[in-house]
Amino acid sequence: MLHDTSTLAVAIFAGFVAAVLALSFWLGRKKQSAAAYYAAHGEVHWFVNGIAFAGDYLSAASFLGICGMIAFSGYDGFLYSIGFLAGWIVALFVIAEPIKALGRFTFADALDAKFNSRGIKMAVAISTLVVSVFYLIPQMVGAGSLITPLLGLPHAAGVILVGVAVTLIVVTAGMVSTTWVQFIKGSLLVLFCGVLTALILGRGLQVNAGRPGTENLAPQVRTVRPDGTVLVDGKPQSRDHDLRPVGTIARLPDRFAGKTATGPLRPLEYLAALEDSTIITWSARRHADAEGTHVTYSPVERKGADLLKPGGYFKGLNSGTLAGRLDFASLMLALFCGTASLPHILIRYYTVKDGAAARKSTVVGIAAIGVFYVLTLYLGLGAMTSGALDPTDTNMAAPLLAKSFSTTLFAVISAIAFTTVLGTVSGLIMAGSGAVAHDLVENVCGVRMTDHEKVRCGKIAAMGLGIVAMALGILFKNFNVSFLVGWAFNIAASANLPALVMLLFWPRTTKQGIIAAVTVGMVASLGWILLSADTFEKVYGLAREAAPMPFSQPGLVTIPLGFLVLIVVSLLTPPPAARPGNAG
Amino acid sequence: MTDENAATKSRLGLALFWIYVLLYGGFMGLVLVRPDLLSWRPFGGVNLAIAAGMGLIAAALVLAVVYMVARAGR
């Protein structure tokens, strides 16, 4: 579908970026120490850090991706939410305080605290970079693909805009400005999702929402011809001849018989009424011939109760095959274990003053993120029945839902969706800059630097990463990259979690064990992903059946493998020298 | 981690962690093995799939608050 772009959205976004950059320059006006650049002096208030966790963690994938998945496939998007949130339990109960107590600036600091080994620093710095880059690509490509429908600019403009803004944010005041950007973004995101949810409940459910008269339920065909032009139902696409927006209710529950709208509903009433309604979703079927590639969108009448149970997106759950179920179990394990192994999340623990503040900020983060995920369930279901969905683009579900209320709200949500990218990308660039400058240059290569030089080195690394991020965002333009976030979770969980957990709970852990576990976890999970059916189909364009791996998500195998490698290698190498105070 | 108090504290954290593992694992087990049960609607018309999902989110927050308060109380 062609989307009207609003100048108001551009103005709101420009205003936000200008305000954030002004704040960054103001925060960065004084000469900085390395402790300020990497960890904001450890003086961030726990509440601010808690909301900044939400701003760091809730990426465009969380906001637009989950809303879209729920709007198109029903319940399964909520399973992602449940897994994403559960990971914070690992962070709070197992990881937070040791990370805070052991480390100073980076994840490698914490893992290496006991051994002071260059090998550990190098392995962990590389795994930090790999995870951060896998997480960066979908963010940058997302920025590019969102900017066209939201703000009316070309793909590269979105990528460069985000890249330059984020690099400036990080380079001016490092972790201090990154924290405030994430705090502002996290607050706005939760607040406006709350506003949208209130509007959804106020509107209730409507038959044939957004369209007067009887809805035209004929299938729609979108054709892309070899020369790149687009046809809709055989005629060239234009403002006057475009795909019709989709997603409506065909019948309300019996107790609303004879009515076309329920009126305002309470939160649980809304869900119950939706379960008893009949909803029209749209399926897509693709075929190609000499004329071009055709996608036919056809209406499918479905019971609300069927849309609100698992299996709409994770087809493997219904297939009855073991591989399909293992794939799902593996993803849920990776989400659970991955959060607490993501470097850009872990470094936020260095910005608060002590263990108590680390705990309190995690609780605030869990509250904000938990509320957000409950709200996105309503946003997704609201979009599903709003009559405003673009059948070709799941990412547009949340902004188009906002548009079904008012164009002003569309502008605000579009601008917020776009700024969402800023908060997460700045966290990732910060984590990568620490891995390059603090871990690799300073600690592995042993370059001696004054405090001032350390800051400069970090800033140069951040600029370099910003440029790499922009290049990747443009290079991967036509890739379907949404699943890269899942990869990042799998690699983080496989490479980092076993080492971290065993270091904390098994005194016999040796430095060789840690190096081996991080390396094997990273290589095995990455290798598995590159040989999986999903990658064969979506990246290489090969047949799914040709892939050698039995299922696509590696975590179920590679996380235990990391633990196993660590135990075996540790037992084969001499135990670490016993130190007084290490006995308990 | 030589401090005896710290050891008790981390035991509490681990106990709460395992409670959540049971809840999360139990729910995912249900999704994998008995998905038919998730269509059951005991909660004012809301099905078990949604109620349990929201319950898991609420449980994470409750356990986190319990942990924070218990640690601050000592």
Residue B24 domain boundaries: 4-72
Of all residues in chain A, the one with the smallest CA distance to B2 is A584
Q: Each residue of A485-537: pLDDT tens digit?
A: 888 889 999 999 999 899 888 889 999 999 999 999 999 999 998 898 888 88
Measured CB to CB, residues of chain B less than 8 Å from chain A are: 1-2, 4, 7, 10, 13-14, 16-17, 20, 24, 27-28, 31-32, 35, 38-39, 41, 43-47, 49-50, 53-54, 56-58, 60-61, 63-65, 67-68, 71-72
Sort out which chain B residues have CB atoms less than 8 A from A311's CB and list them. Answer: 35
Residue written as token pair 């099905």: B47
Query: Which of A82, A262, A335 to probe by mutation at the B interface, max B CB count within 10 Å?
Result: A82
d(CA A8, CA A255) in angstroms, rounded, equals 42
ipTM: 0.91
Backbone φ and ψ of A504, nearest 5°: -80, -35
Work out the average pLDDT over A18-45: 86
Proportion of chain A above pLDDT 90, given as a percent: 40
Determine whether the interchain pair B53/A325 forms a contact, defined as Cβ–Cβ distance below 8 Å: no
Which residues 345-384 in chain A show a CB within 8 A of chain B?
356, 359-360, 362-363, 366-367, 370, 373-374, 377
Q: Each residue of A438-454: pLDDT tens digit?
A: 888 888 888 888 888 88
Q: For residue B53, which of A66, A377, A303, A272 has the smallest C-alpha distance?
A: A377
Q: What is the pLDDT of residue A494?
A: 94
Of all residues in chain B, the one with the smallest CA distance to A504 is B1
d(CA A77, CA A84) in angstroms, rounded, equals 11
Q: Each residue of A207-233: pLDDT tens digit?
A: 876 564 455 678 889 998 888 888 998
In the structure encoding, which two tokens stand for residue A336, read together? 């659970």
Asked if residue A273 lies in contact with residue B48, where contact means CB atoms within 8 angstroms, the answer is no
Residue written as token pair 């004054």: A450
**Chain B within 8 Å of A197 (Cβ-Cβ)?**
no
Instruction: Give the residues across from A248 on adjacent strands.
Output: A280
d(CA A343, CA A346) in angstroms, rounded, equals 5
d(CA A319, CA A512) in angstroms, rounded, equals 43
Q: Which amino acid is residue A415, in one-letter code? A: A
DSSP A517-570: HHHHHHHHHHHHHHTSHHHIIIII---GGG-SSSSS--HHHHHHHHHHHHHHHH
In the structure encoding, which two tokens stand for residue A322, read together? 């073991």
Asked if residue B16 lies in contact with residue B63, where contact means CB atoms within 8 angstroms, the answer is yes
d(CA A457, CA A496) in angstroms, rounded, equals 25
* Residue pairs spanning A and B at CB distance below 8 A: 119
Q: How many CB atoms lie within 10 A of CB A15?
A: 11
Of B2, B24, B71, the CB nearest to A581: B2
Proportion of chain A above pLDDT 70, given as a percent: 96
**Chain B within 8 Å of A133 (Cβ-Cβ)?**
no
What do you get for the CA distance between the two ends of chain A, in Å?
A: 63
Dihedral-angle region of residue A279 (phi above 0 means left; psi in -120 to 50 means alpha; beta otherwise): beta
Of A273, A275, A360, the CB nearest to B68: A360
Count: domains in chain B: 1
Domain boundaries, given as residue ranges, for chain A? 7-24+41-204+316-572, 220-307
Dihedral-angle region of residue A286 (phi above 0 means left; psi in -120 to 50 means alpha; beta otherwise): beta
Backbone φ and ψ of A228, nearest 5°: 95, -10
List Cα–Cα distances, A417 to A13, A58, A108, A168, in angstroms.
10, 11, 32, 20
Nearest CA-CA distance, residue B18 and chain A, Å: 10
Nearest CA-CA distance, residue B5 and chain A, Å: 12
d(CA A383, CA B64) in angstroms, rounded, equals 32
DSSP A115-178: T--HHHHHHHHHHHHHHHHHHHHHHHHHHHHHHHHHH---HHHHHHHHHHHHHHHHHHHHHHHH
Say yes or no to pLDDT of A71 above 90. Answer: yes
Asked if residue A147 lies in contact with residue A155, where contact means CB atoms within 8 angstroms, the answer is yes
Of all residues in chain B, the one with the smallest CA distance to A374 is B54
Q: Check the CA dihedral A522-A340-A432-A185 and report its sign.
A: positive
Run of H or E including A249: strand A248-251
Q: What is the pLDDT of residue A570?
A: 94
Of all residues in chain A, the one with the smallest CA distance to B3 is A584
Higher pLDDT, residue B4 or B27: B27
Largest CA distance in chain B: 52
Backbone φ and ψ of A7, nearest 5°: -65, -30
Nearest CA-CA distance, residue A380 and chain B, Å: 13
Q: How many residues does chain B have?
A: 74
Q: Check the CA dihedral A200-A204-A208-A213 and report its sign.
A: negative
Of B4, B27, B72, the CB nearest to A356: B72
Determine whether the interchain pair A363/B65 forms a contact, defined as Cβ–Cβ distance below 8 Å: yes
Q: What is the pLDDT of residue A63?
A: 84
Of A309, A366, A582, the CB nearest to B47: A309
Asked if residue B33 lies in contact with residue B47, where contact means CB atoms within 8 angstroms, the answer is no
Q: Each residue of A395-434: pLDDT tens digit?
A: 888 988 998 998 889 888 888 887 888 889 999 999 999 8
Instruction: Give the residues across from A220 on adjacent strands.
Output: A297
DSSP annotation of A315: T
- Topology of A7-24+41-204+316-572 in CATH? Sodium/glucose cotransporter (1.20.1730)
Determine whether the interchain pair B58/A370 forms a contact, defined as Cβ–Cβ distance below 8 Å: yes
> String of b and e for A339-352 (b: at least 16 CB within 10 Å)?
bbbbbbbbbbbbbb
Q: Each residue of A75-124: pLDDT tens digit?
A: 999 999 999 999 999 999 988 888 888 888 888 888 888 888 889 999 99
A7: Cβ–Cβ under 8 A, 6 or more apart, which residues? Answer: none
Of all residues in chain B, the one with the smallest CA distance to A322 is B32
